[in-house]
Amino acid sequence: MEVQHRSLQKEVGLTLATSLVIGTVIGSGIFMKPGKVIEYAGDSTLALWAWIVGGLITLASGLTIAEVGTQIPKTGGLYVYLEEVYGKVWGFLAGWVQSVIYGPEVIGALGLYFGSLLVHLFGWGAAWKLPIAVGTVLLLAVVNSLGTRYGGFVQTAATLGKLVPIALIAVFGMWKGNGQIWGADSGVTTEISFGAAVLATLWAYDGWMLVGFMAGEMKNPAKVLPRAIIGGLLVVTLAYLSVNVALLHLLPASEIVRLGENAAGAAASHLFGEWGGRLISVGILVSIFGCLNGKILAFPRVPFAMAERGHLPGSRWLSRIHAAYGTPVAAIFSQAVIAVILMVVSNPDHLSELAIFSVYLFYILAFVALFILRRRQGGRPRAYSVPLYPIVPLFAIAGSLYILASTLLTNPGNTLAALAITLLGLPFFRRGQRKEAALRGEPVRANR
């Protein structure tokens, strides 16, 4: 495996790295969130600014994590970064949140979005939304349990599907539409919150954390990584802004809010007629299906890695690898089962926003970790340095803190619930520490 990894390092150049950035980030959000962003922002002008601010926060965050990743070249991502810098308890809590909140909520939200669009496309009753969502999640859990190559095949086949509807809606919408873009009222009376609007855009930008993991696989990460991140995220931001402008060209802002996740499909029908709109809707479904598959492929690796260390309840079961297929089948289905439970008790917008809030708590710690690593490192040369230091990481921290504070003020119940679930991980951590100490015949240590 080590030889294969080194071979891969020499093959990833700027073009491939940039395409990986774009493919990792673009998923369901651009089709699902325009209405929610306008609703929270209150009008189309602030909504477009929310997409811009969300893109800038994402860009600063990706560039910052890229340096953290090159300074801690270990597998495990956020879980390992925080453990390396702050100690075991913070690494555990990051992995705990990703395992029981973030991962399942993202999977659940994507499943519900997929079910909602499929029901709308074929004109089925709303009662079919949840069964389709649950069935899709379980189907992909089975596919990814049969072997990584099968999940990878689905992922590759879905890549084109996510780009076609974006390009067609953006280009033809701006060409043929003539609706009001700036200052169009949302038509709703809910409390305006720019922070909540930005938080909603971050669902569409989510996935950038995976960008920094590519550093060890590039020919020249010092040059390729920042260029890929900047270029890729600028393309994503431009695509998102173009689709939003096209939607506003075609539909009134209040109609986009009313239609919700079906706004992109309605705009496509307006542009290309009923059958053309249906084809675009199929492309959107393919995009969400591929995004959901990618999450089910990747997220279970976090609880699996933690279970291998004995850090989760039921670790012996969660760390099981299928004898025939070599996949972490128990971890995959644990994520799927938690996601199904969340789908039954909640809605996709709620799940997506709570997922972003919960994980940004730990993203901020990862951004601050850059300053700690720089101090530890002294003046030694680095393979990659974040540009415009310390402005870029400080902007990532400030933007993330603003989002968390705004969300806490506008939706205190859900955010406090996320914090409570996070703290519930502490007893399991202490239990694992006691077991490890007993095996070594040592006293329990609070952190490291």
Q: What is the pLDDT of residues 397-442, one digit of tens each?
A: 999 898 888 878 877 877 888 888 888 888 888 877 777 666 566 6
Phi, psi of 218 (to 5 degrees): -105, 155
Q: Which residues have C-beta within 8 Å of that of residue 283, sequence separation ≥ 6?
A: 161, 162, 164, 165, 168
Phi, psi of 12 (to 5 degrees): -90, 110
pLDDT reported for residue 130: 92
User: What is the C-alpha end-to-end distance of the chain, expressed in Å?
Assistant: 30
Phi, psi of 426 (to 5 degrees): -60, -45
Structure letter (DSSP) for residue 101: I
Alpha helices in 33-74 (DSSP H): 34-41, 44-71
**Looking at residues 74-85, what average pLDDT do you find?**
80
**Looking at residues 89-93, what average pLDDT do you find?**
90
Does 8 have pLDDT greater than 50?
Answer: no
**Looking at residues 339-364, what average pLDDT do you find?**
85
Confidence of residue 7 (pLDDT cuts 50, 70, 90): very low
| Token output for 94 | 């990051």
105 vs 445, more confident: 105
Distance CA(317)–CA(97), nearest Å, equals: 19
Does 4 have pLDDT greater than 50?
Answer: no
SS percent in the chain: helix, strand, coil, step 5: 80, 0, 20
Confidence of residue 189 (pLDDT cuts 50, 70, 90): low
Print burial letters for 374-406: b (CB count within 10 Å at least 16), e (below 16): beeeeeeeeebbbeeeeebbbbbbebbebbbeb
Q: Which residues have C-beta within 8 Å of that of residue 186, sequence separation ≥ 6?
A: 38, 39, 41, 42, 43, 44, 47, 253, 254, 257
Mean pLDDT rounded to a whole number for the chain:
80
Structure letter (DSSP) for residue 162: H
Cβ–Cβ under 8 Å, residues 134 and 337: no
